Amino acid sequence: MSKPDRPAVLWTRVLLAALAVPQLFTGLWAVVATESWYRSFPGFGPMLVAAEPPYNAHLASDAGSGFVATGVFLLAAAWWGDRRVVLIAGVSLLSFALPHVIYHSTHPSPGLSDAENVVNSLVLTIAALLPLAVIVATAREGKSTTTKENTRR
């Protein structure tokens, strides 16, 4: 039986919990009120989802379910704190965030101005860098722990 992994550093767990909040908010909104989410997301500034019509209730609900699932996994990883689970949560969020930023950076929305498209890409880039920071910090923590254990033997 393998022994449990060490807990991840606290700031990575706090960051995962903070990243879970917009995932859960966005997802629940899209699942519960698909048309409102489509027309109004993010609730201020340019309406990002409606900038790429047409509205599709099924797609909006499915996208919302994906956001909810991601948010739940991020919260669970933050709560449990197991280094490996935190690492997987970071990889999981990055696997969504990276293609998302690439898509929006290479396919400007026709319903947004050039400036709005640039701001959207910058915000999405930051959203991809945050889970990357969790991954790097958690992977480094694992290496330093392994090195310390090896030197004690």
pLDDT of residue 7: 86
Reported as a single tens digit per residue, the pLDDT across 33-91 is 999 999 999 999 899 999 999 999 999 999 999 999 999 999 999 999 999 999 999 99
Q: Give CA angle at 65 (131, 118), nearest 5°.
A: 50
pLDDT of residue 144: 63
In angstroms, the CA 56 to CA 73 distance is 26
In angstroms, the CA 118 to CA 127 distance is 14
In angstroms, the CA 107 to CA 67 distance is 21
Assess whether pLDDT exceeds 70 at residue 148: no
Both tokens assigned to 101? 């930023």
> Residue 136, SS3?
helix
Assess whether pLDDT exceeds 60 at residue 2: no
- Omega before residue 54 within 30° of 0, cis: yes
